Structure 1
Amino acid sequence: MLHCEERRVRLAAAMEERRAWPADSPWIREAIADRPRHLFAPDRLWHWDGYTYLPVDLDADPRQWAAEVYAGPDDPTITQVTNGVPSSSLSCQAIIADMLDSLMPEPGHRVLELGAGQGYNAALLAWRTGPGLVTTVEVDPVLASAAQDRLEALGAGVAVQTGDGGLGWPDNAPYDRVVSTYAVESAPWTWIEQTRPGGRIVTPWGRLGHVALTVADDGKSATGWMQGLAAFMPSRTTADARRGWRQVRGDRPAEDERAVTFAPERLRDGNVLFILRVCLPDVEVFTRTDDNGTVTAFLHDGRSSWATITPGGGGAAIAHQGGPRRLADEAERVLDHWAQQGAPSLYDFGMTVLPDRQFTWHKDPDSGPYGLPVGG
């Protein structure tokens, strides 16, 4: 694995250069050095060439395979593609380090992980807690079996279970720490129920970032701050009735055209995407850049409303919209209100989870749900 060793050194140096190794959790770097990433990569990986995912096999091209495993700090390793879409991966190294830092596991902690994937994250957790204390749940029986084989070969002492992560794993509860490696729209209450009072839960939320929740002393709520911004794969067990952009947009002409006060480039900013996610939770936002560097923004609600935002003359931007809602107008109101508050970053926000609902708040959990003012 000569190519892997060269790449490991290069990735560690890149993490050091951008200060991505958590200063408060030096154990993470030690665990990653002791349990190499390539030991948890299948022989076939997948590379995006700009148009489609192409297979990269270890036997055929070991150099490229190593490059996929040890890419940049923000580059995931795609380990499974289903119907042309990534369905499993080794998360990028920076996000793994950030989430483990947010989780704050300690030696002796009992940990539940939802989404075993290739078993890599569970191996790092077990390095920290000690053997026999980590349970990981994977819905895909093929992935679960492969993860179990890798973890057993390493002697990690991790219990791999096949099941729906949304249900947790009550047999070994209560847990000191719970972590999800896939995104959820709402944190399942079962996770809070299976975590001890004062325990910590870290989960990606809405494919945009992750939140760290602490379970209240009475076990009746969990509250905590947003920790970072990154994209995560969704749960496989969540039925997705949403329509895609092409289905929503169709070939109908735009029903409305108007100038807007924000450029499409703004919708690439993480804090902007976060505040739109909070206030317009059903609206999907993405951008594309053409060969000339021109950015176009796309918004849709997964049902019947859509908008595109393109650069106009003199620095203006033009929105074309269709459907019963005017999504560009809605986004403009959200961003105007957010700007009036000083454009707070995602780190100024947190989340509270209750048995029957969850909400996002700004600066103070007692302030209640964040959103546009009534009539805004």
Structure 2
Amino acid sequence: MTGHRAGLHTEMERCGAWPAGSPWLREAFAALPRDGFAPDRLWRWDGRSYVSLDRAVDPDGWADELYSGVHSPAVTQLTGGRPSSSLSAPSVVADMLDSLRVEPGHRVWDVGTGQGWTAALSAWRAGPGRVVTTEVDEHLAAFARARLADAGLDVEAAAGDGTGGGVPGGGPVDRLHAAYAVETVPWSWVAAVRPGGRIVYPWGRLGHVALTVADDGASAWGWVQGLAQFMGDRHAPAQAGTGSAAYAAVRGDAEPETRRTVDRDLAPLEDWHLRFALRVAVPDAVLLTARDADGINAWVHDGHRSWATLVARGDGEPPLLSQGGPRRIGDELLAAWSQWEDLGRPDLYDYGVTITPDSQWAWQGDPDTGPRWPIGSPHPAAR
């Protein structure tokens, strides 16, 4: 295991994944290695289904999966044949904890304990008795509690609903870290953080955000920090699937209701800054892309009944847009793409989120004067 740990640290260095502003993370990762919080069974996708890797049966395969890459999570639990818990990718863990800006003495609420690794890292920084963590799955909460104790850490690990419940032990915290994705932030999270405190959370299907609570506690706002894909809140409506099977399920055997050419090169759809802008403007649109001999092709669906394809045709022919369902989701995506170009092709770090008790919205460039999009419904930006 020593070699796998050393390899992770070297690869984090090579990729520039160690945050320059939080040098403590190197020490914390070394003191609290990933394998100390992994269960003895992991799950690997073999292209058709998830297969188990048992530490006792195949220790090398288990370790290879756990340390498969700095950007790779390790699936630790399946429910109904689908992942329901994981150890997050090391690079994302480091990035989010850097964004959280934990200091010694801070009180931290870690929401979504999982196996307890992020709570452990926060406790290494904040100090004994300064971190509380909440996990809705009682089995996972018990597992994390044992691993945290084995590591000699004084962390309160409680079973409970972090989305709808309050901080274990009550009182405000300085920092809140969420380890599962939410599209809208529960106001209870903002209310739990003292003015000037920070909330770092995965935002829906793509991206993670760091909010600062206003001095009067009546709002919170902050910037997108990076890309991340996390499992969602178990009590929220299920997000639309992101694979080809989900697109096929939405389309079924339906023929296109409209078909037309579009005067666009589809290659920019591989640009993650554009893809993030599309995620902001049309949040329920699931976009898949693949390249063939003619160029980039795209498949879009909303998880319900609407779908579109953008097919490259080569030989100088313009791409073909085909659509079906009650909405023209392909046209919505193209309109959002044009708006992104009109805004000067901003990168994902130029977007942010504002939260109030009554509403939530994303914005670009400036929280007060920039274009904004209401969170929770796919409407064009208000100017």
Scaled to the shorter chain, the TM-score interval is: over 0.9
Match of 1:301 in 2: 302
Instruction: Give the deviation of 1:168 after TM superposition.
Output: 4.4
Query: For the residues of structure 2 that align with 1:52 and 1:242, how far apart are their CA atoms?
Result: 19
Q: Are 2:45 and 1:48 equivalent residues in the alignment? A: yes
Instruction: Give the deviation of 1:58 after TM superposition.
Output: 0.5
Query: For the residues of structure 2 that align with 1:367 and 1:207, how far apart are their CA atoms?
Result: 26
Give CA deviations for 1:176-204 in whole Å, capped at 9, x if unaligned: 00010111000110000010000000011
Residue identity opposite 2:313 in structure 1? G
Matches within 5 A, 1:101-250: 101-170=98-167, 171-240=169-238, 244-250=246-252
> Which of 224, 247, 260 lines up with 2:262 in the alignment?
260
- 1:49/1:241 Cα in 2 relative to 1: closer, same or farther (>3 Å)? closer
- 1:110/1:270 Cα in 2 relative to 1: closer, same or farther (>3 Å)? same
Give CA deviations for 1:310-331 in whole Å, capped at 9, x if unaligned: 2112353222210122221111
Give CA deviations for 1:210-234 in whole Å, capped at 9, x if unaligned: 1100000100000111100121111
Query: For the residues of structure 1 that align with 2:381 and 2:140, how far apart are their CA atoms?
Result: 46
Give CA deviations for 1:311-359 in whole Å, capped at 9, x if unaligned: 1123532222101222211111111121122100111111100001111
Instruction: Give the deviation of 1:298 after TM superposition.
Output: 1.6
Conserved 8 A contact 1:118-1:147:
yes
> Which of 53, 60, 78 lines up with 1:81 in the alignment?
78
Moved more, 190-199 or 65-74: 65-74
Residue identity opposite 1:235 in structure 2? D
Match of 1:325 in 2: 327
Query: For the residues of structure 2 that align with 1:76 and 1:36, how far apart are their CA atoms?
Result: 14
Query: For the residues of structure 1 that align with 2:11 and 2:39, how far apart are their CA atoms?
Result: 24
Q: Please give the secondary structure, in 2, of the residue aligned with 1:199.
A: strand
| Unaligned segments of structure 1, at least 5 residues | none
Q: Please give the secondary structure, in 2, of the residue aligned with 1:165.
A: coil
- 1:172/1:261 Cα in 2 relative to 1: closer, same or farther (>3 Å)? farther
- 1:43/1:164 Cα in 2 relative to 1: closer, same or farther (>3 Å)? same
> Which of 89, 92, 108 lines up with 1:95 in the alignment?
92
> Which of 5, 9, 19 lines up with 1:8 in the alignment?
5
Q: Please give the secondary structure, in 2, of the residue aligned with 1:33.
A: helix
Match of 2:27 in 1: 30
Residue identity opposite 1:110 in structure 2? R
Residue identity opposite 2:337 in structure 1? L
Conserved 8 A contact 1:112-1:169:
no
Moved more, 325-334 or 123-132: 325-334
- 1:65/1:265 Cα in 2 relative to 1: closer, same or farther (>3 Å)? farther
Q: Are 2:51 and 1:57 equivalent residues in the alignment? A: no
Q: Are 2:357 and 1:365 equivalent residues in the alignment? A: no
Residue identity opposite 2:230 in structure 1? F
Conserved 8 A contact 1:137-1:169:
no
Query: For the residues of structure 2 that align with 1:211 and 1:373, how far apart are their CA atoms?
Result: 19
Conserved 8 A contact 2:295-2:314:
no
Compare the two structures and name the one with the higher helix fraction.
1
Query: For the residues of structure 1 that align with 2:165 and 2:190, how far apart are their CA atoms?
Result: 9
Give CA deviations for 1:87-141 in whole Å, capped at 9, x if unaligned: 1111011000000000000000000011000001100000000111111111111
Instruction: Give the deviation of 1:265 after TM superposition.
Output: 4.5
Conserved 8 A contact 2:176-2:193:
yes
Conserved 8 A contact 2:266-2:297:
yes
Give CA deviations for 1:31-79 in whole Å, capped at 9, x if unaligned: 0000111011111101112222111110111111111111211011111
Query: For the residues of structure 2 that align with 1:95 and 1:70, how far apart are their CA atoms?
Result: 14
Instruction: Give the deviation of 1:368 after TM superposition.
Output: 5.6
Q: Please give the secondary structure, in 2, of the residue aligned with 1:186.
A: coil
Instruction: Give the deviation of 1:294 after TM superposition.
Output: 6.3
Identity %: 50
Match of 2:376 in 1: none
Query: For the residues of structure 1 that align with 2:314 and 2:239, how far apart are their CA atoms?
Result: 38
Query: For the residues of structure 2 that align with 1:267 and 1:135, how far apart are their CA atoms?
Result: 41
